[in-house]
A and B are shown apart, each in its own frame.
Chain A
Amino acid sequence: GQQLNQSPQSMFIQEGEDVSMNCTSSSIFNTWLWYKQDPGEGPVLLIALYKAGELTSNGRLTAQFGITRKDSFLNISASIPSDVGIYFCAVSNYGGSQGNLIFGKGTKLSVKP
């Protein structure tokens, strides 16, 4: 099946540092999403991107939908301990079964106080 390449696989950073992670695909997708999974919980949507080239912010988080519709990045500025978790990118196209989400393998973020 289709795959998303998400990198890095894991990150260990100091509190206050900025974080950057990205996601690429060999296929074009119309929707790119970023989810965060806190330890012991289900994933929660952080940012949704629907337009190629779109740059969207949510507090300290910024994500961009690549112009080729084959990639996206997520940046976290001034990290804090509660940023710890697994970040997943996900993609889909519109309509019917194409609305199924395909997930990347996740980036595990650890933040040292």
Chain B
Amino acid sequence: EAQVTQNPRYLITVTGKKLTVTCSQNMNHEYMSWYRQDPGLGLRQIYYSMNVEVTDKGDVPEGYKVSRKEKRNFPLILESPSPNQTSLYFCASRRGLAGRETQYFGPGTRLLVL
């Protein structure tokens, strides 16, 4: 089954404790992206990647890192999480680069930073 998977689905952590949220897709998609969803703000893009070893900042990249060493994986790294990073995070992937391809979303990771 074609899908985007994220782990963990739920995470409670404390300020400053490094964490990684994994994202994997099995569709051989070139494009992958991370979003955060907050009440009243919709989906905001954190980082995106157009292919292996090619990453770029989205609209809200501060406090996050990503890597794209393999095509299928695009982990989101919070080196020193803070409470304002409490949010619902979505990974997404898409075949190709143009806006005409359907973008598929993972199930989400709900993060609480205390």
8 interchain pairs, CB-CB under 8 A: A40-B108, A42-B105, A43-B43, A88-B43, A92-B99, A93-B99, A99-B98, A105-B40
Interface residues on A, range: 20 to 34
Interfacial chain A residues near B103, Cβ < 8 Å: 45, 101
Let me know if B105 and A100 touch, CB within 8 A: no
Which residues from 75 to 100 on chain B have a C-beta closer than 8 Å to any C-beta of chain A? 90, 92, 94, 96-100
Interface residues contributed by chain B, number (CB under 8 Å): 30
Cβ-based interface call for A95 (8 A): yes
- Residues of A contacting B70 in the complex (Cβ-Cβ under 8 angstroms): none
Once A100-B33, A106-B42 are accepted as A-B contacts, the answer to whether A30 and B108 lie under 8 Å apart by CB is no
Q: Which of B44, B94, B97 contacts A95 (CB 8 A)?
A: B97
Which chain A positions have C-beta within 8 A of B40? 9, 105
